[in-house]
Each structure stands twice: as C-alpha cells, then as structure tokens.
Structure 1
Amino acid sequence: MELVCAAGSAQAVLQQPSRWGKCLPRSALLGDCPLSLWARAREEMAKLRKVGGRALACYSPRWPAELKALEKPPPVLHLQGSGKVLLPEAKRVTIIGARACTPYGRAQAARFGAGIAAAGAVVVSGGARGIDQAAMRGALDVGGKVLAVVGAGLDRPYPSEARRLYEQIVNQGGTVLSEFNCGVPPRRGNFPRRNRIMAVLAHSILVIQASRKSGTFSTLSHVEDWAASICAVPGPVDCAVSAGPNYLIQQGCRLVQNPEEVMDSLCPWTLVEPDPEQDEILVALSGGDRRSEDLALELGITQKAIRYRLSDLELGGQVSRLQGGLYHRCQRKSLKPPC
C-alpha cells in the first residue's frame, strides 16, 4: 500500500517498473513485469464483475479515512453494493456476539438491529450465524442499511446460507465488503483481520452475548486506540454466553437496555432525536388507539417492523399496550429522575 500511495496510483507503479520495481516483493516480479501484474489485476477485476463487485484502492478519494489509522491497512477493498455506508457522514454501529447464542440473544440482536437502523445508523456486522445475522435481519426488516464485513472472497459467501442475506443487503442500499480476493476461502486467520476493520469503522460497538474467549473480544482488542464506545447488553449470570457482556459492564463499558441508549453513545456523532410529532406511528396513534396489524396496513410497513418499533416506543414511555392488543399514545413526559 505504501508503494501505491508513494507512486500515486497502481498504474504509475506498473508503467514505471524500473523506478518502482525494486520496491516490489520478489513474488510480484516473477514473469513479465508489468504485464504479469496487469494480467493478475485484469483477472481479479473480471472475477469481481462476475459477482457484481468492484475494487476500491487506498488512494481513492472514497477510501474510508478510518482505515488509514490501522497499522497494516488493506491496500484494496472489494465491494458489492452502493458503498454509501462508508461515507464520512454515515454513522455506524457494529453489533457482534456469539454464533451459538440463545433465543434471548437472537431476539435482542434483532431488536437492537431494528432500532438502530430505524434511527438512521448503519448496522455493521460480520455475517456469522447467531448474533451477527439476527442483527442484520432486524435492520433489514425495518428498511435499514447494513454493512457486512466478511472473511472470505466475495464469490465465497460464508456461511453458505448467508448468500440471500448478502443479496438483500445490497438490494436495500447496503454494502458487502471484503479485503480478500475472489477465490479466497473462509480461513480461520481471515476473521481476526476482518474484525479489525469492523472495529475501526465503528462509532459504537454493541456486544450481545459472547464468551470471554471468543472472536468478539478479538474485535474489541482493536478498539483501544479508536474513538468508538463499547456498549453491552446484560444477560443471566448463569449463562455462559452472557459472561462476556457482563464482564465488559463490570469493567466500565456502558450497559444498554434499548437501542436509544446505544444511539446516545454515538456522541460526538449523536444523531438528532426525531421529533415525536414527525414519527409516523405516533402521528397515527394521535388519531386513536390502534392494533399493530392496522398500523402496518395503514403505514405500509411490515408487521415485523411495526412490532420492533412499537416495542421501542413502549420502552421509551411513548406508547402503552392496552387490553385487546390496542396501542395507545402516552402523554409526553420527561424520563429524567427528579433532582
């Protein structure tokens, strides 16, 4: 990467091999240089195009500035999707946790993913089974944006059942990102490298269920030098996969019980709190009590998304559930404790 940045572009390196060639590794000089390098580059670009992907080089003006802080940043990223989730104005929350999570953990991941996405932030995760996929699906269910950072080539979706999930992420304006070339399988050593990218791109990191010795703590090991805050969802003390977040809370990380508290942790990137009078659900409930299915039909939102949003509004004291499944808009009041 240093060579490309010094030369100004990869093309400059290849056009002046006598000038820059001595700086290249020996393996890169085998064969006809620069023709062999061009052939390899063309081959990789053809593979990327075949899966609807493209390359983003470190010297591009669209390169995420956060990656420059890494000790060994990738020279190139491979992307599927729009790439807008990488722009400086995008607010990103990385949600991570156990693959072997409990039903409670899966439900919380979906709830937090939906609430964070509904608030306008990008949900970042690694696409693994369990917490990662539950958080991504929660965000997608409310029409939110997702950034999936994967540990294999874009033509090798892992796990295999995540292929449709990645397609949905791209179709909804999100991005699937990898630093690995097409054809690279999901090797064990790839995932710590993936984790450092998820960490450095995050403005806040949310941990939902993880053991003390897990990939989650590999991700957190990259946070110390960055500005990201760490939040954790507490769990039962006798649950092995709650040991990680409970430990983080003991160490001073922020305990969160709802997505709003995660959004508060984004300071100084805090998003503007939406005006209750502009919230379509609260506006609809101003006209009278309604059932969730009626709200979904009226507002053109899936019932699953409506349930997530009603749950968060209820936790925030803005709506209450009545007998018969009706939802009622509460009077606005301060949630701050009296002095």
Structure 2
Amino acid sequence: MLRNATAPQCIFKVWKLIRMPQTNIQIPTRQSAAFFWWVQNTFTSSELSRFLNLLSNQMKDGRELLHRPEKILALAASVLSEERQDLLHRAHLRPTDSASQPNLITKFEIELLICRRLPPDFPLALRYSGNPQLLALKRVGIVGSRHPTFYGREQAARFARTLAESGVCVVSGAAIGIDTVANLIGHNSGASVAVLGSGLGVPYPRANSALFRCMENSGRGLVLSEFPDQQRAEKWNFPKRNRIIAALCDFLMVIEAGVRSGTMITAQLAADIGVDVGALPGPVYSPTSQGSNLLIKDGAFCVENPEEILERLANLGHQKDATRETSTDDASVLPRTHPTLF
C-alpha cells in the first residue's frame, strides 16, 4: 500500500461529520477508527482528494458511511487503478470492519489521554499492542545513536531508570542502540512506549522481539505503529516514526547523536511543534556527541541529570494548570467526559 502523508488534514472534514449520536462531543467509534486506518493505507494523495470529493457529495451524514461499507468500496474502486484495487483486496482491508482491524487507537483518543492537541500531520489512527492508558502519564522521549559509546548506554540507562521510577513513561523508537536501552530500562523500571518503523506483525528490530512481547503483555508497555501489520521496516519509514515520537513527548531527551542522524531529525520535529528538547553534553572529539553538543549550542536544554527533566515537567504542569484556570475559550478545551475507549 502507498502511504499518504497528507491524509490527516484531508480526512478531517469527513471526521467532523462523525459524532456520537445526540451530542456534540467528537469521539470516534471503533468503526470510524477502522475507516481512518483504511484510508491511510489505501490512497495516494491524488486518489484521496478524488475519493473524498465523491464521498462528501454522496454522503450528507458522516455516520452513514459507517453503515455503508459496500458504497465506500464502490467509490474507492472508481478512483483506484485495477492494480491498486488488487492490492487493496489482497491486503484484506475493509473501510469499517473493526473486527478485522482490532486494537486501533485514533488521534482524537490520544489527544484525550495526553490532554493536548497533536500536530496536523499526526496519523489519524495507529495500531497498538499493550496498554494505551500509559499515554495518560507524563512522557519523556529518550533517543540517540544506533552505535552508542559505553558512556551513552550508561547515561541512557540512568535517565530511563530514574524517570520511570518517578512515574514518567519513557518513549522511544526501539531501534538498536540508545532506543533499545531506553525502552528496556524504562519498561523494567516503570512504563515505556515503543514506536515502530514497521508493522506490528513484523516488528523491527527482530532482536527486540522478546522485549516487544514483554511490553505487550505486562500492562506497563505499549507498542505503536502507523503501518500495516505486515509492512517491513524501510528507511523512509523512520522519519514518519520520528514525528510520532516527537509529538507524543512532553520532553525529548537526546543522549548521543551524530550531526546527520535520525535523532537530529526527531529533535527538530519536536522543537518545531513546541516540545522542549534537551541534550546530554559529551566529549568534543566523539562523533556520537557532536549532534548533542550542536543542539545545546542551538538552544536545547543542557541536561546532565534526569532530575532536571523532572523539575521541568513539574513546571510545565503548573503552567498548564494556570492556563486551564484562566482560559475562557471553550473551543480550545478538550472534552472532559467520554465513553470508555478501550
């Protein structure tokens, strides 16, 4: 399947039509979650635009689409080539079949859990395995080099352990290196979220399969992916994964990073959406510390101890509480009441 990067912005106009009956609170049903997942993994950008135009012209009430999957498939067939229709058929994707796509969590449910808005390009649906309620905890991303030094591994473990033991959920990408240390120690010491660059059916890296199983079954772990279950890891998947890590964090901590690395991309993505970025200073002669040191020169927090992050999170919490107390804009406040999501 071709993945469409602009799907979230485009689908939002359809999402506005899908509301809980007799209420204005926009809470997705399992069927609408399946619909979002289906759209994300079915259309290219041009196909999506044509499909949504047809959809909006023929379905006045968004709830109708949840009960007319055969009509949706017919509309999709009119904009897909025969080859792509065959791919869709073989992928066994159905627009509103929640039974065939279990364990989906939508962008809007995540926003309710983390109590803030996510960026426009955040996927509208993610597959998950494990405990999604962990997203309601304070979350710190710990990311870094795939080829860390002993110093980097030691510091990643120290930060992950202290943060997790303090009730913070450690978020990382589960890649070999700093990410694995962060997810492993974070999970063993408290709670951790891993965001994959592959589908849940073929988790990458394979060397972490045992870790993924533990995270899925312990109640203290969560594994997320925006990709179809059998999508193998490809190099272009990881920038997409990185934007999810950046968006989920309250604070992003860089342990070690080269100047040209995926970690630096993640740090930039976090800074672009207003997430605080910290970096661990390292030896000036170490290639794996050049990126971290550059981030500090460019304005990232210079963080030497995990307690500094905990203090920053506490300050952020006070700022959010003050904002809630003084805000009079009802439209900016997320719904406080909602049905059981999981």
Same topology, TM > 0.5? yes
Within the candidate set 265, 268, 277, 2:316 is matched to: 268
How far apart are the structure 2 equivalents of 1:80 and 1:115? 25
* 2:96 corresponds to 1:86: no
Letter of the 1:243 partner, please give it: Q
* 2:67 corresponds to 1:15: yes
Within the candidate set 210, 234, 254, 1:164 is matched to: 210
Letter of the 1:111 partner, please give it: R
How far apart are the structure 1 equivalents of 2:91 and 2:115? 29
**Corresponding position of 1:148:** 194
* 2:305 corresponds to 1:258: yes
How far apart are the structure 1 equivalents of 2:120 and 2:85? 31
Unaligned runs of 5+ in 2: 1-10, 19-31, 36-62, 320-342
| SS of aligned partner of 1:41 | coil
**Corresponding position of 2:125:** 76
How far apart are the structure 1 equivalents of 2:318 and 2:215? 24
1:243 offset after TM fit, Å?
A: 0.4
**Corresponding position of 1:2:** 12
How far apart are the structure 2 equivalents of 1:220 and 1:66? 22
How far apart are the structure 2 equivalents of 1:68 and 1:37? 35
Instruction: Identify if the C-alpha distance between structure 1 residues 215 and 62 changes in structure 2 by more than 3 Å, giving closer, same or farther.
Output: closer
**Corresponding position of 2:184:** 137
Instruction: Identify if the C-alpha distance between structure 1 residues 257 and 224 changes in structure 2 by more than 3 Å, giving closer, same or farther.
Output: closer
| SS of aligned partner of 1:211 | coil
Letter of the 2:289 partner, please give it: S
How far apart are the structure 2 equivalents of 1:180 and 1:19? 22
How far apart are the structure 2 equivalents of 1:197 and 1:67? 14
Within the candidate set 245, 269, 274, 1:198 is matched to: 245
Instruction: Identify if the C-alpha distance between structure 1 residues 67 and 148 changes in structure 2 by more than 3 Å, giving closer, same or farther.
Output: farther
1:59 offset after TM fit, Å?
A: 5.4
**Corresponding position of 1:184:** 231
Letter of the 1:13 partner, please give it: L
How far apart are the structure 2 equivalents of 1:40 and 1:242? 44
Q: Is the Cα contact below 8 Å between 2:73 and 2:95 reproduced in 1?
A: no
Q: Is the Cα contact below 8 Å between 1:44 and 1:181 reproduced in 2?
A: no
- TM-score, normalised relative to structure 2: 0.67
Q: Which moved more, 1:183-192 or 1:253-262?
A: 253-262
How far apart are the structure 2 equivalents of 1:65 and 1:115? 21
Letter of the 1:166 partner, please give it: F
How far apart are the structure 1 equivalents of 2:194 and 2:204? 11
Instruction: Identify if the C-alpha distance between structure 1 residues 139 and 216 changes in structure 2 by more than 3 Å, giving closer, same or farther.
Output: same
Instruction: Identify if the C-alpha distance between structure 1 residues 112 and 182 changes in structure 2 by more than 3 Å, giving closer, same or farther.
Output: same
Instruction: Identify if the C-alpha distance between structure 1 residues 23 and 60 changes in structure 2 by more than 3 Å, giving closer, same or farther.
Output: farther
Letter of the 2:153 partner, please give it: R
How far apart are the structure 2 equivalents of 1:83 and 1:101? 30
| SS of aligned partner of 1:168 | helix
How far apart are the structure 2 equivalents of 1:28 and 1:58? 29
Q: Which moved more, 1:170-179 or 1:123-132?
A: 170-179
1:252 offset after TM fit, Å?
A: 2.2
Q: Which moved more, 1:128-137 or 1:14-23?
A: 14-23
Q: Is the Cα contact below 8 Å between 1:67 and 1:201 reproduced in 2?
A: no
How far apart are the structure 1 equivalents of 2:231 and 2:90? 18
Structure with the higher helix share, 1 or 2: 2
How far apart are the structure 1 equivalents of 2:116 and 2:72? 28
Map 1:24-103 onto structure 2 (within 5 A).
26-27=79-80, 40-41=93-94, 54-58=103-107, 60=109, 69-87=118-136, 90-103=137-150
Instruction: Identify if the C-alpha distance between structure 1 residues 242 and 24 changes in structure 2 by more than 3 Å, giving closer, same or farther.
Output: farther
Q: Is the Cα contact below 8 Å between 1:109 and 1:135 reproduced in 2?
A: yes
**Corresponding position of 1:174:** 221
Which entry has the higher C-alpha Rg, 1 or 2? 1
1:141 offset after TM fit, Å?
A: 3.1
| SS of aligned partner of 1:146 | strand
Q: Is the Cα contact below 8 Å between 2:114 and 2:135 reproduced in 1?
A: no
Percent identity (aligned) = 33
